[in-house]
Amino acid sequence: MTDVPYSPARQSSAGKVALRWGLYLILGIFAVYYLMPLFVMITTSLKSLEEIRTGDLVSLPREVTFDAWAKAWSGACTGIQCEGVRPYFWNSVLIAVPGVLISTLLGAVNGYVVAQWRFKGANVIFALMLFGCFIPFQVVLLPMARMLGLLGMAGTIPGLIFVHVIYGIGFTTLFFRNYYVTIPVELVKAAKVDGASFLRIFWSIFLPLSIPIIVVSVIWQFTQIWNDFLFGVSFSSAGTQPVTVALNNIVNSTTGVKEYNVDMAAAIIAALPTLLVYVVAGKYFIRGLTAGSVKG
Amino acid sequence: MAPILDIQNLYKSYGSTEILKDINVSIEPGDFLVLVGPSGCGKSTLLNCIAGLEPISGGTLMIGGQDMNDVSPKDRDIAMVFQSYALYPTMSVAKNITFGMKVRGVDQATQDKKLAEVAQQLQIEPLLKRRPGQLSGGQRQRVAMGRALVRDPKLFLFDEPLSNLDAKLRVEMRTEIKALHQNLGASMVYVTHDQIEAMTLATKIVVMKGGVIQQIGTPAEIYNQPANLFVADFMGSPAMNLIPAKTRTDAAGTQLEIDRPGGAPIVLTDTRARDLPADVILGLRPEDIAEPGYRSGETVQQADCKVEIVEPAGADTYVVTTLGGKLVTARLHSDTQAAPGVNHTFAFDLGKVSYFVPETGERIA
C-alpha cells in the first residue's frame, strides 16, 4: 500500500504552479499594455525630432537628449507667448495647494459636525452635500461664471480656488463624516465633561485621529484640482491658466512641424505632481480608504 | 445637610416618546446611588441628564443646591466614567488624565502634582507614557477612573463602567470602586444593569423600568421589601420565588394554600399576616426555603415537595421544585440529600415573606 504510483497531491501542486505562472503571465501582459503609452511618452520625449521622424515609435532613443524637456518647461509656445509650461505650472500649484488645504479643512469640520454633533436636520444637510458630489461640472458652469463675476473674482486664481473648494466640499465632507461616524460618541461626551469646547475637541481629539482620512482627502482633492481642465479653461484668463490648459494650448497651437517630443515632455511634466503624490502617499491612501471599516 | 443631587418631577422625551417620567430622587453628600434596571429603562438617559449631556424636558435638577437646567456639563462640577472608557486615543495616559485640567487652564505644577497623586492611588504610574491602545481593558478602566478622580468633583457619574470587563476583573474592580468610595467619601451616581453590582456598591438603589422609578431604597429594603413584582423578580439571584396562593384567615392567622402537582395543596400558616385578599402572590427568597434541620422558629413550617432539578453551585445547591404552577428554587446546603424525582422535605420560613396583589403586582404592606 505504500507504493502508490499515482499521487493526486503532486498532480494538483503541479497544476497550482502552472496556474500561478499563467496568472503572472496575464498580469504581466496587462501591465505592459497599460504602461506602453507611458513608455512611448518617455522615450519620445528623450528623442530628437529628427529621430522621431525617421525611427520607430516604440524603439529606445539612439541618443538621449533633454532638449525637448527644457523647451517644454520654459520655451514652448502657447499661441503667441513662448514661455513653456513653467508659469502655468506655478499657477496650478497656486490653485491646487490652497484649494486642497481649504477644502480638506472645511470637509473635516463639516464631517465632525454632521457625525458627532447631531443637530436637527443634520441628515438632510449631509444628504444635500452628498447630492453636490453628483452634479456634473457642466451644469454649474454658467451660474458659477455669473457668481464669480458678481464677486469680482472672474479670471483670477482666487476665483479658481473658490470654485474648486466649493466643488470639493461635498467629497471631503463625505470622507470625514464617514470616518468620524465610526468614532464612539462617548469621546465627545467625555471631552465635554472635561470642559473642552467645540473647537477644542475638534483640534485636540479629532484632528490627531484623522491622519489617514486627511491623506485620502488630500490625494483625492489634489488629483481633482490638478487634473481639472473644464473649470481651468472656463474661469481663467490669459495669465491665470492652469497647466492642463497650457498643455492643451501647446499641443494644439503649434505651427509648422509638430514637435512630438516637446508635447510628450510637457504632458509628463503636467502629470508628474499627481504621480508623485500617489507614490509618496499611496500606501496611506489604501489604508485610509479601508480605515473606517475595521475598528482598532 | 442639603442634598448634593436633587431631582424633582424630571421628564425627558424625544419627540413624542417619553423616556423618563416624573423622576424624583435626591441624595445626600457621601451617598452611593445606583440606578439599576433592564436595558432601555432610561437609566443611562437619566445619568446623561444629570451630566448635562442631554437636556431635560421638564422638572428641576439641582447639584449642590444650584439649579442646573441651563448649566453646561463643564460647569456642573462633575466627572464621568463611561462604559467604553472614552479615552482620547492619540494622547498618552498622563495627557488623558490631565486634559481636563489643561483645558481649564490649571498651572503645570498643580497638574503634575495631581497626576502623581492619582497615578499612585490607582497604581498606574508605570503606564503614564503609554497610549490607550497599548493598555488592557482593566488598565483602561483605571485610567478612565483616574481622569475622573483627578478632577475632585462634587459628584462622580459612572455609566456601566464594568460591563466591558471579564467576570473576574469585574469583581475586583467592583471592590476597588467600593473602597474608593469609602476612602474618598465622595458622592457617586452609578448606572448598571447588574443587580449584584447594585446590591454590593449602593447606599441607595433606584430600580427603574420603562422610564419610571419602581422603588427607591437601601439595598436591604429593596431586597427584603420589594415594592412590586418587577423589583422582586429583578433584584436577587436566583430570583425571588413568586408563588400564587389562596388565602383563608382565621383566629390562628392566615392560611396560604398552594397547589402542588400530584398531591393535595400544601398549606402554610402565617400567624402575622392579616386582611389579605383571597388571591395573592407569595414572594419567598430562595434562601428562605431551607432544609428542616437548618431553620427553626415559629415562622418556619415544613412541607414535602417533589424535586425536579438539582443544581450544585459550590457553596450552595439550588433545588428546583414546582409549586402553584411555578418553578420554585430553594437554596440548600451543598450536602443536601435532595435528588431529582424524589420527594424532599423543605422548611419554608415566612419571616421575610412578601405578598403581592396578582392583578396590579403591587406589594401588600
> In terms of domains, do A246 and A171 share one?
yes
A213 touches chain B (CB under 8 A): no
pLDDT bin (cut points 50, 70, 90) of residue B252 is: confident
Q: Among partner residues B48, B82, B90, which is closest to A190 by beta-carbon distance?
A: B82
In chain B, which residues fall in CATH 3.40.50.300? 5-231
A189 with B53: Cβ contact below 8 A: yes
The domain that contains A209 carries what CATH number?
1.10.3720.10
Q: What average pLDDT does chain A have?
A: 86
What is the reported pLDDT for B98? 95
Residues of chain B with Cβ-Cβ distance to A190 below 8 Å are: 80, 82, 86-88, 147
For chain B, count helices (H), then strands (E).
8, 21
Are the CB atoms for A254 and A183 separated by under 8 Å? no
- Is residue A290 over pLDDT 60? no
Domain count, chain A: 2
Q: What average pLDDT does chain B have?
A: 91
> In terms of domains, do A90 and A212 share one?
yes
Q: Which residue has the higher pLDDT, B327 or A76?
A: B327
Nearest residue of chain B to residue A195 (CA atoms): B74
- Is residue A144 over pLDDT 50? yes
Nearest residue of chain B to residue A196 (CA atoms): B103
Mind spelling out the 3-state secondary structure of chain A? CCCCCCCHHHHHHHHHHHHHHHHHHHHHHHHHHHHHHHHHHHHHHCCCHHHHHHCCCCCCCCCCCCHHHHHHHHCCCECCECCCCHHHHHHHHHHHHHHHHHHHHHHHHHHHHHHHCCCCCHHHHHHHHHHHHCCCHHHHHHHHHHHHHHHCCCECHHHHHHHHHHHHHHHHHHHHHHHHCCCCCHHHHHHHHHCCCHHHHHHHHHHHHCHHHHHHHHHHHHHHHHHCCHHHHHHECCCCCCHHHHHHHHHHCCCCCCCHHHHHHHHHHHHHHHHHHHHHHHHHHHHHHHHCCCCC
Whether A74 is covered by a domain: the verdict is no
- Answer yes or no: is the ipTM higher than 0.95: no
How is domain B241-364 classified at the CATH fold level? OB fold (Dihydrolipoamide Acetyltransferase, E2P) (2.40.50)
The tally of CA atoms less than 13 A away on the side-chain side of residue A41 is 16
A193 with B78: Cβ contact below 8 A: yes
A186 touches chain B (CB under 8 A): yes
- Is residue A84 over pLDDT 80? yes
What is the reported pLDDT for A3? 54
Whether A271 is covered by a domain: the verdict is yes
Residues of chain A with Cβ-Cβ distance to B51 below 8 Å are: 189, 193
Best of B45, B90, B92 to substitute, by most chain A Cβ atoms within 10 angstroms, is B90
pLDDT bin (cut points 50, 70, 90) of residue B207 is: very high
| pLDDT average, residue stretch A146-161 | 92
Looking at A18, A35, A65, which one is the last position of a domain?
Answer: A65
A192 with B74: Cβ contact below 8 A: yes
Residues of chain B with Cβ-Cβ distance to A192 below 8 Å are: 53, 72-74
> In terms of domains, do A107 and A170 share one?
yes
> In terms of domains, do A226 and A90 share one?
yes
What is the reported pLDDT for A6? 56
Whether A71 is covered by a domain: the verdict is no
B48 with A189: Cβ contact below 8 A: yes
Best of A193, A201, A294 to substitute, by most chain B Cβ atoms within 10 angstroms, is A193
> In terms of domains, do A121 and A239 share one?
yes
B133 with A296: Cβ contact below 8 A: yes
> In terms of domains, do A162 and A37 share one?
no
Residues of chain B with Cβ-Cβ distance to A191 below 8 Å are: 88, 99
Residue B70's φ and ψ, nearest 5 degrees, are -115, 25
- Edge to edge, the sheet with strand B326-333 lists B289-290, B343-349, B300-312, B316-323, B326-333
**In degrees to the nearest 10, what's the CA dihedral of B41, B156, B199, B49?**
-10
Whether A77 is covered by a domain: the verdict is no
Whether A70 is covered by a domain: the verdict is no
Residues with Cβ < 8 Å from A91, sequence gap 6 or more?
A157, A236, A239, A240, A241, A242, A243
Give whole-number Cα distances, A105 to A63, A177, A216, in Å: 48, 12, 13
pLDDT bin (cut points 50, 70, 90) of residue B319 is: very high
Q: Looking at the DSSP assignment, which residues form a beta bridge with residue B310?
A: B319
Q: Which residue has the higher pLDDT, A189 or B1?
A: A189
Are the CB atoms for B20 and B49 separated by under 8 Å? yes
Q: Which residue has the higher pLDDT, A257 or B304?
A: B304
What is the reported pLDDT for B337? 87
Q: Distance between CA B260 and CA A121 in Å, rounded?
A: 61
Q: Residue-wise over B65-78: b if at least 16 C-beta within 10 A, else e?
A: eeebeeeebbebeb
Tell me the residue type at B104: R
Whether A3 is covered by a domain: the verdict is no
pLDDT bin (cut points 50, 70, 90) of residue A292 is: very low
How is domain B5-231 classified at the CATH fold level? Rossmann fold (3.40.50)
Residues of chain A with Cβ-Cβ distance to B100 below 8 Å are: 193-195
Q: Distance between CA A170 and CA A96 in Å, rounded?
A: 17
> In terms of domains, do A129 and A213 share one?
yes
What is the reported pLDDT for A7? 52
Residues of chain A with Cβ-Cβ distance to B44 below 8 Å are: none
The sign of the CA dihedral B193, B194, B195, B201 is negative
What is the reported pLDDT for A296? 36
Residue A61, burial from CB neighbour count under 10 angstroms (0-12, 13-18, 19+): middle
A187 touches chain B (CB under 8 A): yes
Nearest residue of chain B to residue A194 (CA atoms): B100
Helix (H) or strand (E) holding B263: none
Residue B2, burial from CB neighbour count under 10 angstroms (0-12, 13-18, 19+): exposed
- Edge to edge, the sheet with strand B187-192 lists B78-81, B155-159, B187-192, B32-36, B204-209, B212-217
Long-range contacts of A159-163 (CB under 8 A, 24+ apart): A159/A235, A160/A95, A160/A99, A160/A231, A160/A232, A160/A235, A160/A236, A160/A240, A160/A242, A161/A95, A161/A98, A161/A99, A161/A102, A163/A231, A163/A235
Residue B301's φ and ψ, nearest 5 degrees, are -135, 150
Closest CA of chain A from B103, distance in Å? 6
Residues of chain B with Cβ-Cβ distance to A201 below 8 Å are: none
What single-letter DSSP state applies at residue B272? S
B147 with A190: Cβ contact below 8 A: yes
What is the reported pLDDT for A283? 73
Share of chain B above pLDDT 90, in %: 67
| pLDDT average, residue stretch A116-123 | 85
B103 with A209: Cβ contact below 8 A: no
In chain B, which residues fall in CATH 2.40.50.140? 241-364
Residues of chain B with Cβ-Cβ distance to A195 below 8 Å are: 74, 100, 103-104
Nearest residue of chain A to residue B152 (CA atoms): A194
Share of chain A above pLDDT 70, in %: 92
pLDDT tens readout for residues B37-48: 999 899 999 999
The tally of CA atoms less than 13 A away on the side-chain side of residue A122 is 15
B80 with A204: Cβ contact below 8 A: no
Closest CA of chain A from B154, distance in Å? 13
Q: Among partner residues A184, A194, A209, which is closest to B84 by beta-carbon distance?
A: A184
What is the reported pLDDT for B318? 94
pLDDT tens readout for residues A238-251: 888 999 998 888 88
What is the reported pLDDT for A1? 47
pLDDT bin (cut points 50, 70, 90) of residue B69 is: confident
A193 with B79: Cβ contact below 8 A: yes
Q: Which residue has the higher pLDDT, A159 or A133?
A: A159
Whether A228 is covered by a domain: the verdict is yes
Q: Distance between CA A275 and CA A226 in Å, rounded?
A: 11
B82 with A205: Cβ contact below 8 A: no
β-pairing, B155-159 vs B78-81, is: parallel
pLDDT bin (cut points 50, 70, 90) of residue A237 is: confident
What is the reported pLDDT for A254? 64
| pLDDT average, residue stretch A108-121 | 89
> In terms of domains, do A282 and A159 share one?
yes
Closest CA of chain A from B113, distance in Å? 18
Nearest residue of chain A to residue B48 (CA atoms): A189
- Is residue A5 over pLDDT 60? no
Whether A61 is covered by a domain: the verdict is yes
A118 touches chain B (CB under 8 A): no
| pLDDT average, residue stretch B188-194 | 94
Where in the sequence is the domain holding A30, given as residue range(s)? 8-65
A8 touches chain B (CB under 8 A): no
What is the reported pLDDT for A293? 40
pLDDT tens readout for residues A19-75: 999 999 999 999 999 999 999 999 999 988 888 888 888 788 888 888 888 888 888
> In terms of domains, do A27 and A103 share one?
no
Residues with Cβ < 8 Å from B276, sequence gap 6 or more?
B247, B249, B254, B355, B364
> In terms of domains, do A41 and A111 share one?
no
Identify the CA nearest to B94 among candidates B20, B23, B150: B150
B90 with A209: Cβ contact below 8 A: yes
| pLDDT average, residue stretch B10-32 | 93
> In terms of domains, do A31 and A178 share one?
no
> In terms of domains, do A101 and A242 share one?
yes
| pLDDT average, residue stretch A282-294 | 59
